[in-house]
Structures are given as structure tokens and as C-alpha cells.
Amino acid sequence: MEKLIINGGRRLCGEVRLQGAKNSVLPILAATVAVNGISVIHNCPYLSDVDAAVQILRHIGCRVDIEGETIVVDSTSVSVWEIPETLMREMRSSIIFLGALLSRFGRGVVAAPGGCEIGLRPIDYHLDAFRKMGVVIGENGGIIDCTCPNGISGKRLSLNFPSVGATENIILASIGAEGETVISNAAREPEIKDLADFLNRCGADIRGAGGSTVTIRGASSLHSAEHSIIPDRIIASTYMASAACTGGKITVLGAEKKHLSSVIPVFEEAGCRFRYDENRIEITAPERLRRIRYVKTTPYPGFPTDSQSLITVMASIGSGTSIISESIFENRFRFVPELIRMGADIRVENGCLAIAEGVEKLHGANVAATDLRGGTALVVAGLCADGETQIEKTAYIYRGFYDIEKYFSILGADIRKVNG
Ligand code: UD1
């Protein structure tokens, strides 16, 4: 069994280059299905979720070449609109392929992705929107079978909640629709704008992405294009948290300050100081972190749920009482019992509110990752804890952060991966 072994307590210092955003590369790889040509995607992180997306692309008939951090997808001769359950189950965001298949073929058969470690994650917003656009959906034994007997029509759609995945799926299906689609209460995450930027480079007509109202003029035929994935703002906050918790000083190269506008003030409240240059953020930690009075996760531009576990680790060693409220996913505090094994004093109420009494120090322990972001937060906890931490179930971590041990070693950590 693969494990990460960390000897904590070292101050992390130095420079590190940010990888491309997982939450951009996955929808953009799915979007290449809608392109009748070759997509050249740069700055792709090496992640197991990216491998899963590449497997799906190959299954449906795309030619995929990987050269370093560039993935070249030739979708000229895609021929299959059915994604088998085994491939769908590899990663939850595979549902985004459905919008791309509908756009390309007016047809799509996929397995329902089901719940996952962090919550139920239903797809009702996605399917409701597709139905309004004229898609006929058969759901049988977990298989979602979509046909469009009269084509897909552009519609005015309003989301009950600004769901990232639903916004992306609707954008993708709208490309192949007749007429104009207007999404109100759309998710505003930077990764949505990145998807729209890629599609516009391919000849789509998408306006307003990154804002609450996105307008897509459909029926465009997409051509070959080249695109570079935006930097990963969640990994940026992971490096920032590792500096904060170890009393260190780290420069994150390639970070976009504007993508972190709700995150930086929380670090400042904990006593961290920042310096900015073009596309670089330098964080300097105080000797002891302060408490974080109250943070609530909300859709972008609010505090991201994906960075919540990191803030919880900071709160666990900040002086005083911190309160963290999770409003996006049901099970995002599942890593807290593991953190408690490392000496944290945290009470979770109703699964959605964590009250942390900051302890002086965490100590090393044997723990297991419970999900991607929670697992990464346990690495940060291990980096600042006294003694040895062993983390099992590392596969979760590598879904979102490749070579994590290599990057933290560069910054001065004593961390290694072992098998057995
Ligand atoms: C994406 C991100 C994930 C991030 C999340 C919120 C990717 C690959 N993943 O996930 O890292 O944590 O955004 O920023 O980009 N919901 C419904 N019905 C739906 C869709 C969503 O009830 O049809 C609910 C979900 O259960 C959840 C909330 O809406 O409570 C937000 O989900 P959503 O924004 O769709 O997240 P994902 O796209 O799955």
C-alpha cells in the first residue's frame, strides 16, 4: 500500500511554480469532443483524473497525444457517444462529457456519476436544463440515455444554485443548439471563463462567462485551436497554507491574485503577510498563527469549499477559537477525525460547522486521506506537526496534486512516498 511519510516541523521556504488547474483541464478536455478538429491544450497537470479523462476521450474515438504538459486531442473522427460505467466511475466530473456529446452528436449515453466522498452531488440541474432544451432523457438502472428527436434548442435557463458543473454542461450543450441560450445565476468560477475562452478560440460565441449571466449563440461548428490552462488557485492556497502552518515564507510563481481575493484576507486575519508581483505571490507566516474568527464557504467569488480543509488545519493551530462553516458539500469535514488524531481540538456540529480551539502544536500520527482536498490538508498538517505522520489512501491526494512529495521537498519538507 502506498503511503506518504512526513517528518514534520520544518519551516518551508522557497519558490514553487503552480500547476494548471484541475477544475479547468477536466471540462476543457471534455469540450474537445465538441471540436471538429485538433485541440492543443498546454499547462495540463499530470493527475489521475486527467488520465481518466484521456481514457474516455480515447474510448469515444479521439486520438490523444501527451507531450509533457501538453495534451493534443484530435476529435475529427469521434464516433462513439456512449461512455461505459467503468470509465464514468473513475471520476465524478465525467458528467461534463454529456454536454459535449450532445453538442457533437445530439446523442449521449453515460452512467450516472452517483454520490462521492464529499457529498451526494446530484445532477438534477444538469438534466433539468437539458430537458428544457429539448433533450429526451431515459434513466434506467443508473444509465442516462439522451436523445434529441427535434434537435437541441437554445433557451433562457435559470439555475437554482450557481452549480459549476451544470453551468459547464449547459454551455457545452448550447454550442450545438439552435438559437441562443441564456444562463442566469450561472457559476462565476474562473474555470468557467477558462472553458468559455477555449471554446471561443475554437469559434464558439459565448459572452459573459465569469459573470452571473452567460449567453451562448449556438449552432457554431468548432475548429482547431490552442489553449493554455489557467493556474490552479486551490493548489496556490495549498502552498500558502503550508507556509502559514510551518512559519515559512513561500513564493508561488504563476499565481493569480484576483482568483484568491476571498482567500488572501483569511490568511491575513491569521497573521500572514503578502507581497505581490506580476503573477507571483509571496507569503510570509507569523511565528504563531492567529485564530480565524469566522469563514463560510460560498460559491465564487466567495471562499472556496476546496480550500476549506486547509483553513481548518490553520485554525487547528491558531491561537484562540475559529469557526468554519461549510455550505456547499455535506461531507467536507470528514478529514477532521484524522486531524483530531494529530492532536487538533475541533468539534463539528451537524456536519457543516467546525469549531476549532487552536492547540500549540499538532503531533505526528497514522492517518488516512478521506477525500482529495481533505487528504491534501492532512499533508499540510503533517508538515507542521512534531514527529512522523504516515498518510494512507494517497490515491485521493494524487487526483488533485501530482508529485506532492516532490514539490514540498523542494520547499524544504522531509516527505517521501513509500510502497508497502
Ligand atoms: C465543482 C468542482 C469542485 C468544487 C465545486 C464547488 C470540478 C471538476 N469540480 O464541482 O472541485 O468543489 O465545483 O466549487 O470543477 N448541486 C445540485 N444539483 C446539481 C448540481 C449541483 O444540487 O445538479 C449541488 C451540489 O450537491 C453541491 C452544490 O450544488 O451542493 C455545488 O455543486 P457544483 O457547483 O455543481 O460542484 P461540481 O461542479 O460538482
The class of domain 2-17+231-419 in CATH terms is alpha beta
Query: What pTM was estimated for this model as a whole?
Result: 0.97
Report whether pLDDT(18) > 80: yes
Does the beta carbon of 122 sit less than 6 angstroms from any atom of ligand 1? yes
pLDDT tier at 335, thresholds 50, 70, 90: very high
Which residue is closest in CA terms to ligand 1's atom 32? 163
Does the beta carbon of 93 sit less than 6 angstroms from any atom of ligand 1? yes
The class of domain 22-224 in CATH terms is alpha beta
Report whether pLDDT(302) > 90: yes
d(CA 386, CA 317): 12
* Strand order through the sheet with 414-419: 366-368, 388-392, 2-7, 414-419
Q: Which residues contact 350 (CB under 8 A, 6 or more apart)?
A: none
> Which carries the bigger pLDDT value, residue 141 or residue 363?
363
Residues of the chain with CATH 3.65.10.10: 2-17+231-419, 22-224
Does the beta carbon of 26 sit less than 6 angstroms from any atom of ligand 1? yes
Which residue is closest in CA terms to ligand 1's atom 13? 164
Does the beta carbon of 328 sit less than 6 angstroms from any atom of ligand 1? yes
Distance set, CA 352 to CA 163, 245, 317 (Å): 19, 23, 20
Return the pLDDT at 115.
64
pLDDT tier at 114, thresholds 50, 70, 90: low
Distance set, CA 222 to CA 76, 180, 202, 218 (Å): 11, 16, 5, 11
Q: Which residues contact 318 (CB under 8 A, 6 or more apart)?
A: 270, 288, 289, 290, 291, 292, 356, 358
Q: pLDDT tens for residues 339-366?
A: 999 999 999 999 999 999 999 999 999 9
Q: Which atom of ligand 1 is nearest to the CA of 118?
A: 12
Which residue is closest in CA terms to ligand 1's atom 7? 23
Which residue is closest in CA terms to ligand 1's atom 37? 165
* Catalytic residue IDs: 116
| Ligand 1 center–CA 24 separation, angstroms | 14
Question: b/e map of 210-239 (b: 16 or more CB within 10 Å)?
Answer: beeebbbbbebebebbebbbbbbbbbbbbb
Q: pLDDT tens for residues 42-96?
A: 999 999 999 999 999 999 999 999 999 999 999 999 999 999 999 988 888 899 9
Q: Percent of the chain at pLDDT above 70?
A: 100
